[in-house]
């Protein structure tokens, strides 16, 4: 692969890591700490948060009619989302060991922690859980798909794509038939970077 592309990808990964570290460090300036995935606020902050809690009657009476009318449409999407989650998780469970692909850890992608926020009412907590699940599940599915694509078809696209997934840098150049035939098996097994994490 092109050295310049590898260098750019390494810079992007480094910047993404720095961005996540910076965001996490800013979060740690808040008055909470994490114990075994539980988020614990000190009592004073928790009491202060409760002052910002909007009761359900006020919340619903201030909601726009459009938000209320579209809620069933949004929530209907959870059914295919759960089916996709179950299907892709089952696929990974059965096929990844056969292919020798490292499994994607679901809990790295689907994170539920907003329910610890005392300033969110019940509906807001449910909505936050939905968004956490859905966006995390999509990222989880994308990573499984990326590893699958690396195994079955590790070829870059000729046309520009809007974004690249985590495995794309390992793919072979479009139209390079010789490299495809000589390197495909090597690339299929090139997951060493995952075990280093």
Query: What contacts 128, CB < 8 A, 6 or more positions away?
Result: 114, 115, 117, 120
Helix (H) or strand (E) holding 69: helix 65-76
pTM of the model: 0.85
Length of the chain: 197
What's residue 27's pLDDT? 67
pLDDT tens, residue by residue, 70-106: 999 999 999 999 999 999 999 999 999 999 999 999 9
Instruction: Say if residues 174 and 156 touch (Cβ distance below 8 Å).
Output: yes
CA distance 127 to 121: 10
CA distance 179 to 142: 26
What's residue 102's pLDDT? 96
What's residue 65's pLDDT? 93
pLDDT tens, residue by residue, 106-152: 999 999 999 999 999 999 999 999 999 999 999 999 999 999 999 99
């Amino acid at each position: 692969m092109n050295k310049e592309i590898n260098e750019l990808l390494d810079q992007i990964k480094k910047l993404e890591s720095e961005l996540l570290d910076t965001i996490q460090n800013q979060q740690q300036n808040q008055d909470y700490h994490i114990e075994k995935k539980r988020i614990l606020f000190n009592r004073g902050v928790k009491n202060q948060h409760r002052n910002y809690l909007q009761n359900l009657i006020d919340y619903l009476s201030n909601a726009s009619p459009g938000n209320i009318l579209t809620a069933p449409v949004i929530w209907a999407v959870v059914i295919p989302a759960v089916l996709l989650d179950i299907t892709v998780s089952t696929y990974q469970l059965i096929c990844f060991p056969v292919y020798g692909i490292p499994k994607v850890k679901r809990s790295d992608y689907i994170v539920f922690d907003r329910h610890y926020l005392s300033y969110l009412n019940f509906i807001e907590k449910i909505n936050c859980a939905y968004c956490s699940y859905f966006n995390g599940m999509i990222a989880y599915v994308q990573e499984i798909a990326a590893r699958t694509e690396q195994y079955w078809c590790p070829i870059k696209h000729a046309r520009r794509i809007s974004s690249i997934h985590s495995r794309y840098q390992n793919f072979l150049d479009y139209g390079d038939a010789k490299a495809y035939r000589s390197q495909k098996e090597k690339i299929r097994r090139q997951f060493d970077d995952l075990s280093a994490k």
